[in-house]
Amino acid sequence: MALKKPTKVQFIRAVAETLKQPELGKMADALERGDCPFCGKTPKLDEFADELSLKEYGISGLCQDCQDNMFGKDDRTVKLGAK
């Protein structure tokens, strides 16, 4: 029987369970709904400033505001190790 690769949400749930961090579980719930795991709002696709921010949303699920808080507004290029 082949192992199925867990989805990102399943992975976070497993980590939340292992580390006994219910907050992480809530983040997994938000991600599953397509909501931002930090602030819980549902980002609109047209709120993202550029393609890089949109890609970051695809990876981390963070809305533009939370991305700006985390990475800084002025240096979006630090994300994803982009050059």
Q: Rounded to the nearest whole angstrom, what is the least distance from the CB of residue 66 to Zn ion in the complex?
A: 3
CA angle, 19 as apex, 26 and 68 as ends, to 5°?
A: 50
Distance of CA 30 to the CA centre of its chain: 9
- Of the candidate spans 17-25, 27-35, 60-68, 71-79, the one that interacts with Zn ion by CB under 5 A turns out to be 60-68
Q: Does 16 bind Zn ion (CB under 5 A)?
A: no
Q: How far is CA 27 from CA 17, 32, 78, in A?
A: 12, 9, 23
- Of the candidate spans 2-10, 15-23, 28-36, 49-57, the one that interacts with Zn ion by CB under 5 A turns out to be 28-36
Q: Does 49 bind Zn ion (CB under 5 A)?
A: no
